[in-house]
Chain A
């Protein structure tokens, strides 16, 4: 589940910017993750320390000079490189103050972009498609540059990678509605050209993002129709010459009307992409959103409304998204989590749990008034108060990592102490839900490594937040079972949405085999059985004059003669003592109510021993008698199993172990009783079937036709 954290303003946009143009040319990574180089806003280049929102240095070109490509940092020398007036290259260092006096080289051709690589010489991409390494270019600034692109072909986007110490440059061009892709390799100099193909009239690619993975470049392309296509560009193409690149539809954004104009895409890790300037739901159609989508499941993971309209500019650097909107450049930290089943459900599932789990908000050091922050961001004002907020924001972002560090290698008590403030605020601030999983996984690792370490109360607190799932921390439930922590096992069964059948079955096995005496000191949530009578209480199975009497005749007709008294076969009498203790029954009820798929559960059910099966069947029988004796099909209590769930489990157990049960002498009576249940159920349904026709007639009658104030009808009188 990806999450967008509360953003903050890095800088305001220059006053002269228009509706289309934000004035920002580009944002490039600085010397570490916390520094960025912002180019634009009146031909200036500014270096910011992001966490402090503070400019560290700013250089402006002379009046009349215009910076034409984003400045980059030469990673090896620590020099900044920028091009102004298309072909004038400038290189300077942090210490340089006067931009006019820094190194200057005039090139022979116009430069499109400079791409910096962390451990390699920067690449200069010329507007006509040629690529040079910076050092080679500086050696002879006036060297001739070849023309790669044809006339009227313009570069739209470019990106560079380093593969096996070999720099690569990927750029896309457009020529009269057709799109091409070039892959330029250096040393040796190889150029591949691809045709992306067009997507119908008026639909053009408006945003690109590429990642290099496993010697293959994945290019994601956002079209103005709202479709995101995935193109795989091999680094070692077999064929020569222009090739057609096949593309596959990855995601279709709900663009209800018109086409997208100003939108941008950025690929994040783990199959997530960020898109700005496109609506996230067809119903709103509002485009001023920054959204994170999971491309594997095509679910919306996070979205944020951007005040003041977007410009379709989006950069991603070191876990932060930079987006221009309104009059500000906003930094939004994000986090993407590994895809899991629970996370795949996306934002919708999460909001529903949040609603259910609405707990009183606790104000403490790391929660701050969201409303106020949002307001200040809208107005772009930076008061002292907002500064404080941003500071706490930074603390927040680091706190998860801090906590993760802190809980390593400390004792159980210390873990509790460390996590206490964290857990007390977690329901309030959604940005912590990802941290929760991390903490759970971390604790799990420690528990598995160190058998003596088992912070039960912390684990229970984590489980109770409802944000954990089995797929996000596999092995959790098994560990709990291993530790014979039935209280936590019950919590897990209640809160995990995605427990595999094998684990469910293991739980069942553990619950069935535990002795009632062992459960005495275990505290178990008895809500599921809260209103059930204690074991051994008999039932008056008569409600509204209805006495569920089992008839021995095979016919399904109702027999009006009362059953013989000596028969004691009024099946409500049978085994009305609960075969298991109260706590055990609460645990078993959780199993009965857990979700499962029959075909996956059946093989695991076969692991149960005959004794366990018989005990469970006896309990199910007891539940059935309890619930069917009642007019209401649900047992009292909030989480009591329904009669359908009970019957399904009986059927499953019988399916899995019928042969065993038939052979076991002690199961004979039980099977006979169950047979009676089935017969009574069959008869009930046949009786219901009989009145079905009558009821259908009733529904026909009730379908009162709508007659207005006036109608004309034709009747025939007899």
Chain B
């Protein structure tokens, strides 16, 4: 029963984009992160670091600075000279504004959140007033020679420190004049003809300016006198990022070498009141440029060109061992980029700029477990579909029968019909889509491929009826709570009666497709659902949440099932607690409907609902692997829980017919091999 034939797929060339800048919102406990391809991601730190929202990027956008205002306003500025505010409900830019200063290198918001300062290519620092629904240009500070690469407000809002080439200036905000000009010395002999780029400045409330520059120095300056207090040479290469903790007792700096260095304000001798900045820790979690660092209360967060977001706990701040006290690396998105048509064995891969449709290969031999079978039919790339326009693809799906493909960007939805007879594949775009369809957060075909469900940007769900001749808009479901939160998950039942949607306010609504009305709402759980599916036979809704909890809800009875309660009691999450990536997909075994399969990045597991959950804890505390046990002792016969860690990291796992499994892996080494070469470092013995 536990034997599967596995399509081990490694040809999904998913390449995450490098991290450019980050901003942490302490009030909302959320991290906003901008990538090199212009996409913005929001991680909810209080909800198990779940990737809550993704605003797809655009070819025309490049982000150099990102800034929160208040709890829920997010701004970015970039080299195209534009300032963008985002709509965090509809997950798209709300408006863009040209600063008219050439490329913008940096942005900073004052502590009162009344004004923005932007540092531009032409050497100007532009002040913008923040209004409730827009920002408005106020004035320029005195224009200087050389581009402004970094900015920092003093807490009082009266002074701004600006880093440029070879120089740091302090501006008086009121007068707009430069009141201090600090020369930063260039690197060691031999590099003196190269400008020293002040990549970062931070203005502390005690009028100390911290700077990080291209000569590898972190320097502390007295802003009043313009004198150097202390130099820390931390790297042979650039110091690219700098962050000061909220209470100004810690500074972290990220370098080109991939290290993150922490400085702390400590007294050199115990009991001494006098404190100074002392270099304390070095973290080396990156291989490439650390382009962004920030500090939360308990951890140091860093990201860079090697595309991974590293959340490294500060052990001196962590008191109890909890999920916060482990090092996390976020490499893959917390949603599925792969959709699968089970019957024709098709896989649809979603890239930001294209879709790829592959047909899986096959074999005509059988083998014993552990064997690798000869591939008699090779996998085949059927279609490569480039998107139109500048905006990146935000979601895509393929119908169960494999005849329909749909994808959406922030500006449009496209639906394609696929004819596939033998070796001839033809694809035709469905030209006339109903007017209501503008953009989608999630797309889902019904099990019989007769309907397309579109989670729109207005938090509603459109039901589109599909036929060969035309597509018609059937109905629009609105959430009963009236919430405008974006829907990020959709699930339809196999019998075509039920549709469920989950939005980012943790609400899960169930709609009756036959009666076209709202059926019920699942009790709100305080963690975002990360995956859900409706059981094909019992019509029970299975939900996995960002905090690793799994629930089963009976749609018909409108209550949690007994199995769900039992699972909560036994504690399924215990075995999963050491994994930190959310479950991204739930599916069922077509040939054994009692088997539920769920997976995250590191493992997949199959739970047999027909088997008791009793020995669950015992099994996971025991270190013995079942293989070592004798046939009779093996718990496999009566154990509900089977898991597999052989394939890592997983982007997608799905159960096909006849006990076939498809596993989409993306080895980290393949990602690393596509990254640019890191800065050369002398390693011992080389």
Give the B-binding residues of A (Cβ under 8 A).
707-718
Contact = CB atoms under 8 A, between A and B. Distances in A.
23 contacts: A707-B10, A709-B11, A711-B372, A712-B8, A712-B362, A712-B373, A713-B5, A713-B6, A713-B8, A713-B371, A713-B373, A714-B4, A714-B5, A714-B6, A714-B368, A714-B369, A714-B370, A715-B6, A715-B661, A716-B370, A717-B3, A718-B627, A718-B639
Given A710-B379, A712-B5, A717 B10 contact: no
Contacts of A717: 2-4, 606, 636, 642-644
A107 B635 CA distance: 110
B622 interface: no
B678 interface: no
Nearest to B9: A710
A715 B372 CA distance: 9
A718 B625 CA distance: 9
B7 A718 contact: no
B367 interface: yes
A613 to B, nearest CB: 42
A710 B367 contact: no
Contacts of A710: 7-11, 361, 375, 378-379
A710 B5 CA distance: 13
A716 B636 CA distance: 10
A714 B10 CA distance: 16
Contacts of A712: 5-8, 361-363, 372-375
Contacts of B2: 716-718
Contacts of A715: 3-4, 6, 369-370, 644, 646, 661
B109 to A, nearest CB: 47
Interface in B245-275: none
Interface of B: 2-11, 361-363, 366-375, 378-379, 606, 625-627, 634-636, 639, 642-644, 646, 661
A708 B366 CA distance: 20
A462 B362 CA distance: 73
Nearest to B362: A712
Contacts of A716: 2-4, 369-370
Among A712, A713, A715: residue with most chain B CB under 10 A: A712
B375 A714 contact: no
The 5 closest A-B pairs by CB, nearest first: A718-B626, A716-B369, A717-B642, A717-B2, A709-B11
Contacts, number: 78
B466 to A, nearest CB: 32
B636 A718 contact: yes
Contacts of B362: 712
A712 B366 CA distance: 10
Contacts of A709: 9-11, 379
Nearest to B376: A712
A705 to B, nearest CB: 8
A344 B92 CA distance: 83
B4 A711 contact: no
Nearest to A705: B372
Contacts of B369: 714-716
A715 B370 CA distance: 5
A707 B379 CA distance: 15
Nearest to B639: A718
Nearest to B636: A718
A700 to B, nearest CB: 15
A711 to B, nearest CB: 5
Contacts of A711: 8, 372, 375
A487 B102 CA distance: 79
Given A714-B3, A714-B6, 14 more contacts: A710-B10, A710-B378, A710-B379, A711-B372, A712-B374, A713-B6, A713-B8, A714-B5, A714-B371, A715-B4, A715-B646, A716-B3, A717-B3, A718-B2
A595 to B, nearest CB: 32
B469 to A, nearest CB: 38
Contacts of A708: 10
Nearest to B627: A718
A716 B627 CA distance: 10
B634 A718 contact: yes
Contact of A707 (B8, B370, B373, B643): B8
A708 B379 CA distance: 12
A683 B371 CA distance: 43
A716 B370 CA distance: 8
A708 B10 CA distance: 7
A718 B370 CA distance: 13
A713 B10 contact: no
B555 to A, nearest CB: 29
A716 to B, nearest CB: 4
B367 A714 contact: yes
A716 B371 CA distance: 10
Nearest to A718: B626
A714 to B, nearest CB: 5
A140 to B, nearest CB: 88
Contacts of A707: 8, 10
Nearest to A708: B10
A707 B646 CA distance: 13
A495 B370 CA distance: 58
A713 B361 CA distance: 12
A394 B3 CA distance: 86
A347 B606 CA distance: 69
A476 to B, nearest CB: 44
Contacts of B626: 718
A714 B366 CA distance: 9
Contacts of A718: 2, 625-627, 634-636, 639, 642
A154 to B, nearest CB: 62
A711 B2 CA distance: 20
A620 to B, nearest CB: 32
A707 B5 CA distance: 16
A709 B375 CA distance: 12
B345 to A, nearest CB: 12
A84 to B, nearest CB: 76
A713 to B, nearest CB: 5
A543 to B, nearest CB: 16
A499 B374 CA distance: 59
Contacts of B661: 715
A708 B11 CA distance: 9
Nearest to B646: A715
Nearest to B659: A714
Nearest to B373: A712
Nearest to B374: A712
A715 B378 CA distance: 20
